[in-house]
Amino acid sequence: MLSSKSVVPPQTHSDEDIATRTSIDTSATNDELSASHGMAEKIAETRKDSSSSVFGDNPGQLPDDAIKSDEKHSNMESQNQHIMASMDAQLSEESSLTQKEQASVIHEAGADSDVKITEPEKAQQTVTTASNNIKKDEEIAAAAVEQEVQSIGKQQDVQGFDTKPAEEDINKEQLREDKGAVEANPKADVLQQDPEAALKGTSSEQVSEKIENQKVDVVEVTQKPKAEKKGRKSKKQWSTQAAQSQKENKRQQVESNSEEKLEDHEWYLCNVTANEDYIPCLDNEKAVKQLRTTRHYEHRERHCPKDPPTCLVPLPKGYRTPIEWPNSRDKIWYHNVPHKLLAEVKGHQNWVKVTGEFLTFPGGGTQFIHGALHYIDFLQQAQPSIGWGKHTRVILDVGCGVGSFGGFLFERDVITMSFAPKDEHEAQVQFALERGIPAISAVMGSQRLPFPSLVFDAIHCARCRVPWHVDGGMLLLELNRLLRPGGLFIWCATPVYQKLEEDVEIWKEMTTLTKSICWVLVTINKDELNQVGAAIYRKPTSNECYNQRAQSEPPLCKDDDDPNAAWYVPLQACLHRVPVDKTERGAKWPEAWPRRLNKPPYWLNNSQTGIYGKPPAQDFAADTNRWKNVVEELSNIGITWTDVRNVMDMRSIYGGFAAALKDLPVWVFNVVTVDTPDTLPVIYERGLFGIYHDWCESFSTYPRSYDLLHADSLFSKLKDRCKLTAVMAEVDRIIRPGGKLIVRDEPSTLSEVRTLLNSLHWEILHDKIQEGVLCAKRGKWRPTAIAVS
């Protein structure tokens, strides 16, 4: 992950490039090659005698043909160097450790703790194998090289200034090519161009190997697999059925994707029980029925269909354009989220009420019946160090209900990542999103939440009904993973202030658990108006307490446990150490908001390479400036900000797009995809928030959640892994009618996206395909045909 130790891992190269560089590194040294070969000396003397000095633009006494050849060779070297530089710049992004790779390491470690092969070891094995194969091929060609060198020496003695090969030599050259001696010729050409290199060799084999290694270029690297393939024909290994089947399935998938006739795609309505509230990865009834247990809320976790759906979710009857913020915080159209049960069950707690054609939200909750703002101020008075909107900027709200706590924290310049399980309280997260409050459907169950470690300034739980003390405190330890050192856990629940037997027992268990993980109880206060109490704990900023515990329960996590791996990673009842090195992420509290927004995190290591090929701090600044300029132009492509509240950046890097929208009344959900460099900690350090996700799967949100989706270089990267029709069906699902989609991508990809948008009856607002930008608006069109279940 992107941290003080590894912002983005150093640039890597292909196995072929590594193998070539390895052969260079292991070639004979100058001391070992001090004895000159007689033939090579003759070549050098002949060249020295037969050429004049060349300075600047003076070509010497070479004929026109040779000059043109040299210029061509120089141009080729320049082009190859340019290609290599471009490849290296791209590798800074493509070779970075992704969330998917981090999660894979965790899974492998759990499956086999005895035998582990790290990525560097795997790379070294590949290098060794490739180097050995190349060496065998070179030994086969060694004899031919020696004969060629001798032939060149004779030619140099006879030809003098004449560099054009004789007709007989051309015939011999053609004969060698016909026989397949492909690799001998480039080596001979190199000898003619640089005979001084031959002086360092003690044998023709060493001369040819040294020169080939010194003169290696992109063309040679790309040709080597062909030579290796020829050399290995006689050593073909047995293939497995699994490998053959996997290869064929992949081929058919690629073929299917490429042959997909987007313009003729026929859309259907989804035929599912959830109907207009369908979330594919949370409503997979078939997968839920096959679960062995639901003890840890496995039935509320993600279970994505093997084949992502390409059907469309229907609209609720009577759906209307959502009410604009900030009025939406207090009321929404009933027909947009037609659910009354929560109003009937929680109406007396001022969660939500039905008022005519509206659902209204008085701002209350189970623990703050008299309003969220009063409750927020009560917490600030109970613990002044909270410092809403300055010291505390990004918080996590566990079991958020209808999102009133997070909704009113906007008035204190705080953004809240709210979550609650789907259907636990009917459509509560959907209510929050319709109100313009950020929230996702998730549960604290058997897996880590999809966030990096040490990113939340505070975590809040008001009657969230999570059994923190069970299973060795595994769920509270997950909060410990997410909470910054020195961060606060705000627990407002009946065990804090009631004396019922069950509450008293839970409080005892909680007290024991929090002490064992070194959380300090900083205050317990009671809100006289709401007649509730809150206990506030602080996470330690050092490992001193961990090391001094009388009992090591819960145990410290293993050294190879990556706390940032969070994509489908099982929970473990262990305690991650606190970073204490001042250059590590989490060792210091971020700058106060809003200074932290545009200041590069202190832990970015400028000795390494950022996503765009520059030192990370410069990368960060360039990304910020780029999106400032882009956002200023969005009004010219059809974006009206008064219509926008809920925004998602579908492929965020440093959060620059979200940062550029800071002064607008919107919030931006940053998505860092699991197969790209893990920059999500940078986004949180800026005082923004986001989540890990793979867009080949459905997002954990209700339909019609967002007003604006922004996708920068996303779809072109997805096409090789999943069908574009499924991705666009998901885009259509999560965006509201009237919502906008901005796509920045390759022209060919944009053409495919435009074709699919036309088939979905979207309105194209801005169509600059060749400039790499497309903007479209979703309508209310739905197909009439229903998909086969």
* Whether 751 and 612 share a structural domain: yes
Range of the domain at 600: 595-777
626 falls within a domain: yes
Please give the pLDDT value at position 719: 93
Pick the last residue of a domain from 176, 210, 227. Answer: 227
- The model's pTM: 0.72
Q: What is the DSSP string of 428-476?
A: HHHHHHHHT--EEE---SSB--SS-SS-EEEEEEES----TTSGGGHHH
> What are the 10-residue block averages of pLDDT along the chain, 789 residues in total?
42 43 41 43 44 36 38 47 46 57 66 43 46 51 49 41 42 43 38 37 40 38 38 57 81 58 86 96 96 96 97 98 97 95 78 92 84 95 98 98 95 98 84 98 98 99 94 98 99 96 97 98 95 97 96 94 98 96 96 97 88 92 95 92 98 98 98 97 99 99 99 96 97 99 97 97 96 98 93
* Whether 529 and 641 share a structural domain: no
* Whether 742 and 675 share a structural domain: yes
282 falls within a domain: no
Pick the closest to residue 421 from 730, 706, 702 (CA basis).
702
If one counts the domains in the chain, the total is 3
Is 53 exposed, middle or buried, given 0-12, 13-18 or 19+ CB atoms closer than 10 A?
A: exposed
35 falls within a domain: yes
552 falls within a domain: no
Rounded-to-integer distance, Cα 408 and Cα 396, Å: 14
9 falls within a domain: no
Token look-up 């959640």 returns: 705
* Whether 429 and 511 share a structural domain: yes
* Whether 637 and 741 share a structural domain: yes
* Whether 613 and 737 share a structural domain: yes
759 falls within a domain: yes
Q: What is the DSSP string of 739-772?
A: EEEEEE--HHHHHHHHHHHHHTT-EEEEEEGGGT
* Whether 35 and 169 share a structural domain: yes
* Whether 466 and 386 share a structural domain: yes
Pick the last residue of a domain from 172, 206, 227. Answer: 227
Please give the pLDDT value at position 181: 38
* Whether 532 and 602 share a structural domain: no
Please give the pLDDT value at position 257: 58
* Whether 675 and 770 share a structural domain: yes
Give the model confidence (pLDDT) of 52-91 as tens digits.
333 333 333 333 433 333 444 444 444 545 444 444 444 3
* Whether 452 and 541 share a structural domain: yes
679 falls within a domain: yes
- Give every strand in the sheet of 358-360, ordered side by side: 331-333, 358-360, 353-355
Please give the pLDDT value at position 109: 57
Pick the closest to residue 569 from 652, 696, 478 (CA basis).
478
CATH of the domain at 400: 3.40.50.150
Please give the pLDDT value at position 260: 55
Please give the pLDDT value at position 25: 46
Rounded-to-integer distance, Cα 1 and Cα 621, Å: 20
273 falls within a domain: no
Rounded-to-integer distance, Cα 285 and Cα 281, Å: 10
* Whether 711 and 637 share a structural domain: yes
Pick the last residue of a domain from 518, 547, 576. Answer: 547
Please give the pLDDT value at position 164: 39
